[in-house]
Amino acid sequence: MKVEKNAGGIEGLCVIEPSVHGDQRGYFMETYNQKDMEEAGLTMKFVQDNQSGSGKAVLRGLHFQKKYPQGKLVRVIRGTVFDVAVDIRKGSATYGKWYGIELSEENKKQFYIPEGFAHGFLVLSDQAEFCYKCTDFYHPDDEGGIAWNDPTINVAWPELDVPYRMSEKDKKWGRLGE
């Protein structure tokens, strides 16, 4: 397992590349090993696993929880997404900065996003299945969000040959700090 800490120069964000063992039969990899994570300096306790399936151009986010922030370890098991984290930690030197990474079934990279970040992703392939482990439970009454196109953040979402598709809720989020 290879861990890139402070991805994009933002403290806490980590890109994880699992060791993949392949032969003529296929491949094997550990998707999570607490001991290896702790040896890499990452201590987290996951309480919930989620999986979503989405079609091309689906944009989910940018989401966070206010009183019950969630750390997330995310990965793609089918397809390709552009995954984004935005630092919303008040007082952080990188407040309002974002980092994006392509996650796919081919590259098998994982992205750790600690508490204090907004998170979202855009599906680049025809279909994608997205899995993530969370450090706190989902609290529907605690949801927050930031507009995907907030000009103060200015995420460079990839351009696609079709319009982005979002939930009505995601279309209504305001700017960072509103």
Quick: pLDDT tens for 106-151: 999 999 999 999 999 999 999 999 999 999 999 999 999 999 999 9
Percentage of the chain exceeding pLDDT 70: 100
- Rounded Cα gap, residues 117 and 98, in angstroms: 9
Quick: pLDDT tens for 72-118: 999 999 999 999 999 999 999 999 999 999 999 999 999 999 999 99
Examine the pLDDT at 175 and tell me if it is beyond 90: yes
Domains of the chain listed by start with CATH number: 46-171 (2.60.120.10)
Among residues 117, 119, 141, the alpha carbon closest in space to that of 130 is found at 119
| Dihedral sign computed on CA atoms, order 7, 51, 36, 81 | negative
Q: In what order do the strands lie in the sheet with 143-145?
A: 98-104, 80-87, 117-123, 59-65, 143-145
Among residues 61, 57, 38, 27, the alpha carbon closest in space to that of 132 is found at 61
Residues known to be catalytic: 63, 132
- Residue 178: what pLDDT? 80
Q: Which helix (H) or strand (E) holds 168?
A: helix 168-171
pTM of full prediction above 0.75: yes
Quick: pLDDT tens for 12-32: 999 999 999 999 999 999 999
Q: In this structure, are residues 20 and 27 in contact, taking their beta carbons and an 8 Å threshold?
A: yes
- What is the chain's mean pLDDT, rounded? 97
